[in-house]
């Protein structure tokens, strides 16, 4: 038996161990990428709510049609805050917990996945685009991977 750094378990290379490792690597990659994107893009939209840093000014008329547009969507500030707090922070936290093999790692990845699904669902209702569909799929796969890894006895590895 050998210790697997990615899965945090001892395994002999079984097929189920390979799926466990693949699901874990998927969650790590998704958490790192979404965490970085959420933190960076969220901060850029907070610093320049007109969307100039991300060249999103053309979308201002579109977000003006959202519910509560006169309160939350006069510019990209609220979207930046939600992106930072609902996508960036949870995913960055999940990435750290996954790397450290913390007992709460899959619970946090599940919450991050649910938040991503909610974000994409809102975006698809008000501003349909293929990127949102792709992220929705990533969110659903992340949720299933998190649930699958949570129910496995070997996934309850503490730090």
Chain center to CA of 109 = 8
Main-chain phi, psi angles of 143, to 5 degrees: -65, -45
pLDDT for residue 13:
56
**Does residue 75 lie within any of the structural domains?**
yes
pLDDT for residue 2:
47
pLDDT for residue 158:
40
Closest CA to 30 of 103, 117, 102: 117
Give the model confidence (pLDDT) of 85-131 as tens digits: 999 999 999 999 999 999 999 999 999 999 999 999 998 998 899 99
**Does residue 7 lie within any of the structural domains?**
no
> Mean pLDDT across the stretch 6-14?
54
Give the model confidence (pLDDT) of 46-64 as tens digits: 999 999 999 888 888 888 8
User: Collapsing DSSP states into helix, strand and coil, what is residue 14?
Assistant: coil
User: Pairing between strand 2-4 and 9-11?
Assistant: antiparallel
pLDDT for residue 152:
82
**Does residue 15 lie within any of the structural domains?**
no
Q: Count structural domains, the chain.
A: 1
**Does residue 13 lie within any of the structural domains?**
no
What six digits make up the tokens of 34?
A: 């979404």
**Does residue 136 lie within any of the structural domains?**
yes
CA 134, 42, 22, 143 torsion-angle sign: negative
pTM for the model stands at 0.82
**Does residue 149 lie within any of the structural domains?**
yes
Containing domain of residue 108, as a range? 21-155
């Amino acid at each position: 038996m050998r210790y697997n750094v990615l899965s945090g378990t001892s395994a002999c290379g079984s097929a189920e161990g390979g799926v466990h490792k693949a699901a874990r690597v998927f969650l790590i990659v998704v958490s790192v990428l979404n965490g970085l994107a959420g933190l960076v893009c969220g901060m850029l939209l907070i610093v320049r709510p007109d969307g100039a840093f991300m060249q999103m000014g053309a979308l201002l008329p579109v977000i003006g049609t959202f519910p509560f547009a006169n309160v939350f969507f006069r510019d990209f500030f609220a979207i930046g805050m939600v992106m930072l707090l609902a996508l960036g922070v949870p995913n960055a936290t999940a990435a750290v917990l996954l790397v450290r093999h913390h007992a709460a790692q899959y619970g946090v990845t599940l919450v991050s996945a649910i938040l991503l699904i909610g974000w994409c669902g809102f975006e698809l209702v008000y501003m349909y685009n293929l990127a949102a569909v792709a992220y929705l799929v990533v969110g659903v796969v992340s949720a299933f991977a998190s649930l699958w890894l949570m129910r496995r006895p070997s996934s309850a590895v503490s730090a």
